Amino acid sequence: PQTGDRVVLVHGLWMTGTVCALLARRLRACGFQPLLFSYPSIRTALEQAAQRLARFVRERADTPVHFVGHSLGGLGVLELLAREPQLAAGRAVLLGSPSTSSLAAQQLTGSRVGRMLAGRALPQWRADRGVGVTTRVEVGAIAGTMRFGIASLVLKLPRPNDGAVTVAETQLPGLRDHLVLSVTHTGLLVSARVAREVCAFLQHGHFTHA
C-alpha cells in the first residue's frame, strides 16, 4: 500500500464510530487515512449494514480501500465483500469478530431480552460468506483472551475467550494470518500493540507476532 491509503473502521454491537477514534489516530500515525463508519448496530439487519457500508465507501474513496472491523463490524465487512466482489478492496483486519459462529448470539437469542441485546445482524451471519471472501481478499484476524466486562458475567463461553467471543470463533478458514493477544473484547480497540499489528497487516499482509 501507498502512504495515505484509506482505511474504513467499522464498530461493533452497542457502539458508534467514535469508539474507533484512538485506533484511527494510531493508524494515521502509520501513514493511513482512517475513515470512521457508524450505523445503528442493534436495529440494522446485516444486509442493510453492508449496503450502508458500501455507500459510505463509494462516496469517499475511488481507489482500493482497506477495512478494520471490530466484533460485529468485522462481520459487516465480510458481508459487504461477499455481496460486492467487484468493490475495490485492499486488505481487511477483523478484531474479535465471531466469523465462524457466535455462542454469545446463540445464548442471547434464547430470551426476549437477549434477542434485543443481540440485535438483528449478529444472528444472521453465515460463516460460508466469510470463507468465500478469504479466497479473494487478504484477511487477518486478532483474537483476545482476557475475560472482562458485563458480557463475561452473563455469557458462558469456553476458554480461551475475550469475554464475548472465543478464540475458536475468530479462526475463519482461509485467513492470511491469525494472532492471539492477552486483551479484552473492548481492549482490542484501545491496545497500542493491536494498533501496531493492524498497521503491519495492512502494510505487509501479515502480523509481526513479535
Joined grid coordinates for residue 172? 475463519
* pLDDT in the model for residue 88: 87
Instruction: Please give the average per-residue pLDDT across 53-70, as a whole number.
Output: 91
Q: Which of 71, 66, 68, 39 is nearest to 55 (CA)?
A: 39
* pLDDT in the model for residue 2: 53
Predicted confidence (pLDDT) at residue 119 exceeds the cutoff of 80: no
Alpha carbon distance 40, 42 (integer Å): 6
Residue 104 contacts residue 165 (beta carbons within 8 Å): yes
For 119: left if phi > 0, alpha if psi spans -120 to 50, otherwise beta; the answer is left
* pLDDT in the model for residue 3: 64
The backbone torsions φ and ψ at residue 90, rounded to the nearest 5 degrees and listed phi first, read -90, -115
Q: Among 73-87, 105-119, 139-153, 181-195, which stretch is predicted with the lowest mean pLDDT?
A: 105-119
* pLDDT in the model for residue 48: 96
The alpha carbon dihedral of 7, 189, 37, 174 has a sign of positive
Predicted confidence (pLDDT) at residue 121 exceeds the cutoff of 80: yes
* pLDDT in the model for residue 162: 95
Alpha carbon distance 52, 25 (integer Å): 24
Average pLDDT, the chain: 92
Joined grid coordinates for residue 17? 464510530
Predicted confidence (pLDDT) at residue 1 exceeds the cutoff of 70: no
46-60 vs 72-83: helix axis angle to the nearest 10? 70
> pLDDT tens digits for 136-183?
999 999 999 998 765 666 778 999 999 999 999 999 999 999 999 999
> pLDDT tens digits for 32-58?
999 999 999 999 999 999 999 999 999
